[in-house]
Amino acid sequence: MASKMQGIEPKDLGRSLGLLVHDVARLMRRAFDRRVKHLGLTRSQWFVLAHLYRSDGQTQRHLADELDMERAPLSKLLDRLESGGWLERRADPDDRRANRVYITKKIDPLMTEGISAGENLTDDIFSGIDENTRKEFLSVLVQAKSNLIALEQEEE
């Protein structure tokens, strides 16, 4: 049972945006992991490859920032992916101190299967929800993401 703290009514945290988004993302990751386990990649490896698939050729520093990872663990992860032939690092032509990260053709069948698994999971998640509500929900999330990016830029 929720307790009151110094006369403050407890809120229904089950409807807290932050907690809901976190819980839904966690549950989605776990469900997705189960569906692509046979592909032989860890969640972290999949996350890096999917991010590069969407935006290939980033510097390692930018990739670390985008993935919200420290550079050293990301570098070790990239080493493993590179040794597996999933990606390659090339010197940045504009900054000799930087490397850019590129996916290889080996990822194409993996991404086809992963995208399909993601679409099927999305269909399962939205089961019983009409198409217009789905579209509106996704539009709201896109706008919320844009607002958060703008807030982040204002605070820098």
Backbone angles phi, psi at 59, to 5 degrees: -75, 155
Q: What is the per-residue pLDDT across 36-63, written as a single tens digit (0 to 9) for each?
A: 889 888 888 888 999 999 999 999 999 9
* Per-residue buried b or exposed e for 43-80, using 16+ beta carbons within 10 Å of the residue's own CB: eebbebbbbbeeeeebbbeebbeebebeeeebeebbee
Asked if residues 56 and 105 have their Cβ atoms less than 8 Å apart, the reply is no
Say whether pLDDT at 3 is over 80: no
C-beta neighbour count of 151 within 10 angstroms: 9
H/E element, 156: none
Indicate whether 92 belongs to any domain. Answer: yes
**Is 41 inside a domain boundary?**
yes
| Residue 74 belongs to domain spanning | 27-114
**83, part of any domain:** yes
In a domain, 62, yes or no: yes
Please report which confidence band the pLDDT of residue 9 belongs to, taking 50, 70 and 90 as the band edges: low
Question: Is there a domain that residue 125 lies in?
Answer: no
Classify residue 42: in a domain, yes or no.
yes
Asked if residue 144 is part of any domain, the answer here is no
The whole-model pTM stands at 0.73
Question: What digits encode the pLDDT tens for the residues 79-109?
Answer: 999 999 999 999 999 888 889 999 999 999 9
Please tell me the total count of domains within the chain.
1
For 57-119, give the secondary structure using H, E and C.
CEEHHHHHHHHCCCHHHHHHHHHHHHHCCCEEEEEECCEEEEEEEEECCCHHHHHHHHHHHHH
Q: For position 77, which CATH number holds?
A: 1.10.10.10
Q: Is residue 22 part of a domain?
A: no
